[in-house]
Structure 1
């Protein structure tokens, strides 16, 4: 049987790739997520209470339960090349989100609202039979959209992907060489 020279060394190097590459990628993703959250905070409209400003955050893994009134941007490293398939992992999911129970109105600020007219709402048969008072929907003025979440994400998305790819490559090179 023919033996390939250096095969054992190569197999040891390949086994070392996932741990160090993942750690390097995790560190970079954390830095990118913090940078993205700070950029979104810079553009968020300030109110009296700053609840919307305080609700912008990031975390590893999926979005927390009460968050995401506007939405979330998930940073997950996609397959970079065939040799880097080992980097696909739920452990590498980072979510940047906005909105919580206190800042439930985040999507209204981001996308704006449409005006509504005051009108009587239809009564049910039971309400009419009881002689209940007429329910009224209050008027609402339109609010202009003040986009701050998605424009920043669109601006940073490619930069984040390039940074993550470079971090994965650095981690792999570090594992292979040392």
Structure 2
């Protein structure tokens, strides 16, 4: 009886190690695939926004837009993001902007002229690249993680 319990506990520990390894690889592959989709769909002006798309274990860099996080604990949490200090406008490209006044005396440029009198900006249409990439890659990522879990269970059972 004690041997059966010890054997069962050993298999559970092996399952934890195997699952972390297999699922971690699947999550990394899926995150990179979603980033590739977002980069392909990203509108390019100077390339800064496209270069800012990435993923990381843990929290996204400050100032970036995040699709969200996958995983509950800090050790197994991936965040996919776009934007950084140089490409701070990621959310404006993704969601667009409505028409708005540009304040008098601001440093904003409107059609190449300094805005000293106050002006109206017509807004910018949304050019989504980030969330469509996530929606396109989500099902494949979920299936890849499910297969990794199955593989980990089979490895631990042997």
TM category (shorter chain) comes to 0.7 to 0.9
Q: Map 1:11-160 to 2 at 5 A.
A: 11-47=9-45, 49-68=46-65, 71-76=66-71, 89-117=73-101, 137-160=118-141
Other-structure match for 2:107: none
Aligned residues: 148
- Counterpart secondary structure, 1:6: helix
| TM-score, structure 1 normalization | 0.74
- Gapped regions of structure 1 (runs ≥ 5): 77-87, 121-134
Q: Which has the higher strand share?
A: 2
Runs of 4+ in 1 over 6 A off after TM superposition: none
Counterpart Cα distance in 1 of 2:103 and 2:2? 83
- Gapped regions of structure 2 (runs ≥ 5): 105-115
Mapped pair 1:6 → 2:1: no
Counterpart Cα distance in 1 of 2:16 and 2:102? 61
Larger radius of gyration: 1
What is the CA RMSD across the aligned residues, in angstroms? Answer: 2.2
User: Displacement, 1:142?
Assistant: 1.9
Alignment deviations for residues 126-166 of structure 1 (CA, whole Å, 9 cap, x no partner): xxxxxxxxx85432122111011111112222221221122
